[in-house]
Structures are given as C-alpha cells and as structure tokens.
Structure 1
Amino acid sequence: MSAGTVLELNNVSRWYGNVVAVNDVSLRLPAGVTGLLGPNGAGKTTLLHMMSGFLNPSRGTVTLGGEPTWRNPGVYRRLGLVAEREAVHGFLTAWEFVLASAKMHRLSDPRAAAVRALEMVEMTDAQDRRIETYSKGMRQRTRVAAALVHDPEVLLLDEPFNGMDPRQRMHMLELFHRLGADGRTIVFSSHILEEVEQVSGTVQVVVAGRLAASGDYRQIRRLMTNRPHVFAVQSSDDRRLAVALIGEKSVSGVEIDTGGLTVRASDYGSFTRALPRIALGQGIRLRKLLPSDESLESVFSYLLEA
C-alpha cells in the first residue's frame, strides 16, 4: 500500500447558483477509518462526490496522493466509491455485476478478483441470483464488492449501512476496521450517530456545509468548555459524597437518585482529578465513574446548538 495515498481537501467550496452546499472545508484523510457525520442535507454527499472526482469544486482543490481527483480518470485505479443512490441493473446477478466491474478495471485476473470481493462481503451463497431478488442490505453488499474488486487504496461510502440487518452491519463494520488497519483510507458518511461511533473514533462533523468539528469525538466533547460535562457516579455512600462534591469548585450541580449521582462539572480535567481526592478524604469507595454525555449524539446536538 502506498504510504503517500492521502486524500486532501484544501479550502473546498461548492455552490449551486445562490445555494452553498459546501463552504470552505479543509480536510486531510490519511490511512484508517473516518466517519463523515452530519444531518441530511449537511453537504456530506457533495463532499464525497468531490473527493471521488465526480464533481468539481467551485473553489479549492481535492487531491489524492497529490493528484487532483477532478478530470483525472487515473485516480479510479486507486479509489472505490459506493454512492448512496443505487445504479445496479436488477437483471444481473451479483457475480455478473462484480465481474463486469473487474473487467472495466482491466484486471489481469478479473474472475479471481470477483471471487475475492464477493467473499469479503459474504455474498458468495447468493451470487448467482438476480440482484432484483435481493434485499436492500444484500444489494448494498454487492455494491461494496464491486467497489472493492480492484483492491483500492481509498474507499468512499455514502450511507453504506442503509437497509442492512444487525448481522450484516456487524460484518461490514469488521470489514471496514480490517481495511483501515491494512493501511487503506476508508471514509463513510452517516447521519446515524451510533454507526459512526462504532466504526471510527475519528469524526468529521459537517453542519450546514461547514466543518463543525474534527478529530476524536471524546476530545471534541471535552474541548466544549462552555457546556457542562455530565457524569454518572456510584459510590459506597452516595449521599455523603454528594454533600462533599457540592463544595468543589468544578462542580456545578449534583443530583441523587436510586441509581447513584448525576454530577455536572464545568471543567472535565479539574473534576476528574478532584473526585478521587474527595472520595479518599471522606473514606468513600468509588464504584462507578462514567461520562454520560460523551456519545456522538451529545456532541452532535451541542454542535447544532452552537
């Protein structure tokens, strides 16, 4: 795998008349799995189409390994795309569809490549059935196989989990992890928060065409100093701990119920350092400390409110 295969966007914008779909986005996507997160209409599909060379930026540049993706057919030897909109002839079988993709790439052994790709997505048992008889999840897996048939260094996927059942989704998650660990660049879009959270710790959050946040979603959450951090705490004496925590400068609120404490802290670092010290001083044993608002759902809702 080429170590220089980095997908890069520099000050990229795309507009349609007076409508700005993507506004001044800069990204550098090396090997590994990256989730492109945002609500429907945020600009994710437009970004992926520019990354894949299907759409030219109105301003800025998109490069793959230093080469522009727009008007550069050579990039498709290194890149695979699974678009959100299906473009699969239903009268073909999965085998015929994936084999045709291998032949279009002029591979030296297209049949062997098609076998390998269908095995990767667990479609060999149904490969001789017409695609029109497939469920949506099976069609999705067939399209992923066609995008993988030439062993690309970069794989772009727009809402790839649509229509997949839990078992299919889990297999696809594992496949993306393996491909990323092998040195490939995997970029997939989703508006479903838990999908991104399960596949990738690296998140690019797109809101209204702009890059709202970038990096590990837990770190993004901790940098939001204007928002309280919420923790679930259980101890050997929740009531006494609650009284002691009220006097801590970094604590902005404490609630107690049968499940333990809900603590709101204004400063993540100060609170997590102070809690063990306070518990030890009171002779209280901590049984649980869990940040309860570090899910992508919390991060995403905070960014939308910002």
Structure 2
Amino acid sequence: MSSIELNGVSRWYGNVVAVNDVTLTIGPGLTGLLGPNGAGKTTVLHLMAGLLAPSQGEVTVGDEPAWRNPDMYRNLGLVTERESVPGFLTAWEFVLASAKLHKLPNPEEAARAALSIVELVDAQDRRISTYSKGMRQRSRVAAALVHDPKVLLLDEPFNGMDPRQRLHMMTLLNKMADEGRTILFSSHILEEVEQLSGTVQVIVAGRLAASGDYRHIRRLMTNRPHQFTISSSDDRLLATVLMGQDSVSGVSLEPTGVLVQANDYGTFTRAIAKLAREHKIRLTQILPSDESLEKVFSYLVAT
C-alpha cells in the first residue's frame, strides 16, 4: 500500500461543488498539493483519508477503497489543518495514546521514536497548552508517525512554524520520502513547495489545474501574460515606446501610470530599463498588477 488514486472524483455539498472531476495518482515520494485558500485542497485530503465519501468517482489507497475502510489507517497517517490536541495532555501522553490506539506491540518505544523524529523529546513532559503553535504542530506529526505509516497526508503542515522548524520539517519529509513513503502535503505558499523535492499538483476552484515537477509549474506561471503599472517622468512617451515592443500586447494610460499587458514576462522585464535609459525616461515605480495567488492559479486552469 503506497499509492493514492483519484479517478473522476467529485464532491459536492448541495449545489456547491468542492471538488470537480479530479483524476490523479500520487506515488511514492514527496508531492505538494498547491492552491489558494478555498481551492478544495482539504476536501481532496479528506477524500483520500476516507473522512468523506466521493459524490462521484473512486478513491483508492493502495488497491483498497478509502471510504469505509478503517483498516487503511494501519498504513496511513493524517495531520489535519485544524488543531484538535487536548492541551491538558503532555506530548508524551498524547503520542503514547496514539500508539496504544494503533495497538502497537511496544507503544512506549514507538512514542519515544516518534517524538525523537520531530525533536520534542526535551519538551515531551510539558503540557501541550504551554507549547508554541509550531511545537503543537510537531506533536501532531509525531502522533501521525507513531505507527510508521507508508502513506502520510499533511494539511498545511508548516503553519505556525518558525524558519528553523520549517527547515527541520522539510528535511524530515524529504528523508521519509526517500525511504519509499508516499507523502502528500498541502500548501498555498509557492516557496514552501519550491523548497521541497518531488512533484506538484495544482488545484484551483476544485479542479486539477496543472501537474508536474516544480520547475514545470513555475515555468507555466512565469510564461503567462502579466500586467504591470509603471510610473515614470514621461508616461505618454513611455507608452508610445512600449507599444512598439514584441513582448507587449497592450498599453493604456491610466491615472496611476502606464498599464502594460506583457505577453513575455522575461523579455519585457529585461527590456524595460534599457528602453527607459535610451529615451531618457526616469522610471519611478513598476508594480505587478495581477500577482495574487488566485489570479496566478486561475491562469493555469485556463491553459
């Protein structure tokens, strides 16, 4: 049991479609599920974890259906986005309870190993209510790892972690993936995915928008049309100059400056300073007008 498959999967709530006809396969290694907030990432993870039934299609983990299959959790670990850790417990008590629920032959040894993996041994006897958010997150990861699962699902696992904790978690996930586990984590932050090896699945508005390694996804995003608002010492002259450039598909004068539609991001950004210098135009501000995550991802849906 090491691969996850969604075949034509949809999930709706009344008239609201949360996941729309998604087909994908997650194999051994580290995969990022990337998308803006509200895109359907959590719903996809809950379908994979068997917490939700698909309204249409099929979800399998290994060769077994995810829905109504509690035995699947012998080989699957889940870290949800919402915290549900009882603060009155210590990390040791919390992770040990997880080991006992899994009916492990030596729960104490398994709990010690899991806490060591996430570097919480020194704080294991403190109540979780005294932990920082990053430490609470690590205690939840330890509880999900205690039975050494082959499949690990993590929903926004880096929330609340400081840079050192993030680096440690990234190193840990890469190490476990290299050992042959299937690990899927969700994120709405491009840089988190960029720093982790593996493949990326991009989901927007419940649909699978793009799939591939990070370099492929980054290339798709970079090569899309971009809008810039540029302020200068002579906006009218600048607009005239830019209209003759092959990398520019549209120019308009606005109260805030020159609104430019660039069809070649790299060529335009390399040329703008040179053109301004040649025509003795002083650039005072260059602002991307369409860099919100929602717009970036929505472009991928349309390609």
| Contact 1:221-1:299 at 8 Å conserved across structures | no
Mapped to 1, the partners of 2:294 and 2:177 lie a distance apart of 24
Specify the SS of the correspondent of 2:158: coil
Residue of structure 2 aligned with 1:303, choices 293, 297, 300: 297
1:57 paired residue number: 54
Q: What do the CA deviations read for 1:33-55 (whole angstroms, capped 9, x no partner)? A: 00011111000000000000011
Say if 2:194 is the partner of 1:197. Answer: yes
Superposition CA RMSD, Å: 2.6
Specify the SS of the correspondent of 1:199: coil
2:243 paired residue number: none
Q: TM-score, normalised by structure 2?
A: 0.76
Q: 1:216 to 1:64 in 2, by over 3 A?
A: same
| Residue correspondence of structure 1 range 141-290 to structure 2 within 5 A | 141-222=138-219, 227=224, 252=247
CA displacement at 1:220 relative to structure 2:
3.5
- Could you list the runs of 5+ residues in structure 2 that have no partner in the other structure? 227-245, 249-261, 268-290
Mapped to 2, the partners of 1:125 and 1:197 lie a distance apart of 31
Q: What do the CA deviations read for 1:33-90 (whole angstroms, capped 9, x no partner)? A: 0001111100000000000001111011110111001100110001000001111111
| Contact 2:202-2:211 at 8 Å conserved across structures | yes
| Contact 1:220-1:299 at 8 Å conserved across structures | no
Which structure 1 residue ranges, 4+ long, deviate > 6 Å from structure 2? 297-300
Matched letter for residue 133 of structure 1: T
Q: 1:52 to 1:63 in 2, by over 3 A?
A: same
Mapped to 2, the partners of 1:219 and 1:128 lie a distance apart of 45
Q: TM-score, normalised by structure 1?
A: 0.75
Residue of structure 2 aligned with 1:34, choices 5, 24, 31: 31
Mapped to 1, the partners of 2:181 and 2:48 lie a distance apart of 15
Mapped to 2, the partners of 1:227 and 1:122 lie a distance apart of 42
Mapped to 2, the partners of 1:121 and 1:225 lie a distance apart of 35
Specify the SS of the correspondent of 1:75: helix
Residue of structure 2 aligned with 1:76, choices 73, 76, 82: 73
- Could you list the runs of 5+ residues in structure 1 that have no partner in the other structure? 230-250, 254-263, 272-296
CA displacement at 1:196 relative to structure 2:
1.1
Aligned length: 249
CA displacement at 1:200 relative to structure 2:
3.2
CA displacement at 1:202 relative to structure 2:
1.1
